[in-house]
Chain A
Amino acid sequence: VISACSLAPEAKICVSNACASSLAAIATAKTWLKAKRVDHAVIFACDAIDSFVLHGFHHLRVLSPDRTRPFAANRTGFHLGDAAACLILSSKNKSADGLELIDAQIDSEGHAATRPSQSGESLLRACKNLLASREQVTPDLVIAHGTSTQANDVTEDKVFKSLFEGSEKKPRITGTKWSVGHTLGTAGLLDVIAACEVLKSQKVFALRTTDGIDPAFEGSYLLASELQNSDRPLKSILVTSLGFGGVHAAALVTRV
């Protein structure tokens, strides 16, 4: 698709930050817009399940034998999902729905090839940098990466605990992978699009396959049994992504 577009070679680039690629691409687009190098940026993301990917994740032992249950006590990994997504960012044309991407931040840590550090230091740094410039530091909702693996969910819970410690009202936390599966590099873009839809509809979705949260976790997760109407007006949503190799990212979407 991109090759078919009559863009100059320097006007397109492929970002490969593993499962944080989408949010890293958004951060890159924001940089180009901020530098006034472009007026509009189009971000494409696509991931398809093939035997290469399926075998790889199977041998890493992260695929669930049944369902993806993010942050659940009985979580067993994830199922893979196919997805293609597209997002247009513009510094000239305002969104008809009042949607605004405040920023996206990327960060990295050389902890290990496949596991994030337990403290999630680089995700925490990305989130803090993202929220630091905001008057209202706490977002109204978080759409977490939530892969339902042991390592990912532990790290994210610790990051959310550190991030929202002292907040008057901790944000509710949800995710999409229980429904669409883990779409790898596309996951962040799907979650940003989901955040836009939540902001437009003012209706949240729960972690529909998660019946009971891991007792060690402290985040305010939206369970399957909970209502889908938010207990507060939804003005801003934080989206997080974690990638192999310790590349993590976060984005903040608002509706003005």
Chain B
Amino acid sequence: MTFFLQSFQSEIPYPAKETPAWAAKSDRWYQLDAPAYSLAQAFDLMKADLGVKPDFLILASPRASNLTDRDFAASGASSPSKFVHTLPNIRASSLLQVMEWAGPMLCVQNDPQTIVSALEEAFVLFEAEEALKRIWVVAFEPTRARCHYFIVTREPSVPSALTVKVTGSASGAVLGAASPAATPGVKRDEEWLDWVYNKPSNSFNLSRHYTAQFTSGV
């Protein structure tokens, strides 16, 4: 099975220096933490490129909400607006408001390969649910304040899309010994993002099931 993948990224300065264009759509935008504000702002900046909205959205949260958790605890654990952001999925609430979208959404964490796992989840969803045509995998990378939007589709949408192919057998094969593609301690998300944006090689082994390859259009 072959899937197609487009990637977009945006670095968002935080805190905001001015009221964002989407302020009226959001529930108290000025109380948003860095991931929540950045994901909404990135969507607004990139919405023309992102195009058609998804059938399913996966939010990948590397390092979960650790920074906000620390901030909440350090401030005396008394701010309700900070407390709600100690749930990693809350950052999607403002994004959904700005996107003006509602639908199935899954929030995942699997460090050090949270983004890679979220992408694999999208591929598994495609294998299980024929009706799905377009899945977005959205992530905020806290170490670089970067937002990533990956659009996974069954059909190629632009010449520059990456091609992701299934490799290996499907049934039950992931159980057992650790995958050679995911040695403990290796920062899989960092490797993946480096590969996507810097293209150090032609292919990337996402997991034992999926290999990403750049198409000739890149």
On A, residues with C-beta under 8 Å from B are 6-18, 24, 27-28, 31-32, 34-39, 51-52, 55-57, 59-61, 105-114, 121-122, 125, 243-247
Partner of A245 from the list B90, B101, B175 (CB cut-off 8 Å) is B90
In the complex, the chain B residue whose C-beta lies closest to that of A3 is B184
Knowing that A8-B176, A18-B89, A52-B86 touch, tell me 13 more A-B residue pairs with CB under 8 angstroms. Answer: A10-B182, A10-B207, A12-B110, A16-B87, A31-B121, A35-B127, A59-B79, A107-B102, A110-B101, A243-B87, A244-B87, A244-B93, A245-B84
Question: When chains A and B are docked, how far (Å) is the Cα of A125 from the Cα of B55?
Answer: 14
Question: Known contacts A56-B80, A244-B84; is A8 also within 8 Å of B117 by CB?
Answer: no
Determine how close the nearest CB of chain B comes to the CB of A18; give it in whole angstroms.
Answer: 5
The distance from the CB of A87 to the nearest CB of chain B, in whole angstroms, is 17
**Do residues B106 and A15 form an inter-chain contact, with CB atoms below 8 A?**
yes
Binds A, one of B12-20, B69-77, B152-160: B69-77
Among the 9-residue stretches B2-10, B138-146, B166-174, B194-202, the one with 4 or more Cβ atoms under 8 Å from chain A is B166-174
Residues of chain B whose beta carbon lies under 8 Å from any beta carbon of chain A: 27, 57, 61, 64, 69, 72-73, 77-81, 83-90, 92-99, 101-110, 113, 117, 120-121, 124-125, 127-129, 170-172, 174-179, 182, 188, 207-209
In the complex where A10-B117, A24-B106 touch, is A245 in contact with B93 (Cβ < 8 A)? yes
Contact present for A52 and B89 (CB under 8 Å): no
> Which residues of chain A have C-beta atoms less than 8 A from B172's C-beta?
36-39
A242→B96 CA distance, assembly (Å):
17
**A103 shortest CB reach to chain B, Å:** 11
Q: Out of A6, A31, A57, name the residue touching B125 (CB < 8 Å).
A: A31
8 closest A-B pairs by CB: A110-B96, A56-B83, A55-B77, A108-B105, A110-B97, A35-B128, A35-B127, A34-B128
- In the complex the two chains form, what is the Cα distance from A121 to B170 in whole Å? 36
The SS class assigned to the B binding surface is mixed
The answer to whether A8 and B178 touch (CB under 8 A), given A15-B108, A110-B96, is yes
Given known contacts A8-B179, A243-B89, is B108 in contact with A13 (CB within 8 Å)?
Answer: yes
B78 and A59 contact, CB distance less than 8 A: yes
17 pairs from A and B in contact (CB 8 Å cutoff)? A8-B175, A9-B179, A14-B108, A24-B107, A32-B128, A34-B128, A35-B125, A37-B171, A52-B69, A52-B73, A56-B72, A60-B84, A108-B105, A110-B96, A245-B90, A246-B102, A247-B107
For residue B76, give the distance in angstroms from its CB to the closest CB of chain A: 8
Are B171 and A247 in contact, with the CB atoms below 8 A? no
How far is it, in angstroms, between the C-alpha of A52 and the C-alpha of B83 when the chains are bound?
A: 9
Q: Across the two chains, which residue of chain B brings its CB closest to A5?
A: B175
Report the bound CA distance from A12 to B179 in whole Å.
Answer: 12
Chain B residues with Cβ below 8 Å from A52 are 69, 72-73, 77, 86
> In the complex, A16→B108 CA distance in Å?
6
Q: How far is the CB of A252 from chain B (nearest CB, A)?
A: 16
State whether A16 and B178 are in contact (beta carbons under 8 Å apart), knowing that A35-B127, A60-B80, A108-B103 are contacts in the complex. no
Partner of B174, one of A10, A60, A111, A122: A10
Is the Cβ of B105 less than 8 Å from the Cβ of A56?
A: no
Contact check, A32 vs B108: say whether CB atoms are below 8 A apart: no
Residue from the list A16, A121, A125 in contact with B107, Cβ < 8 A? A16
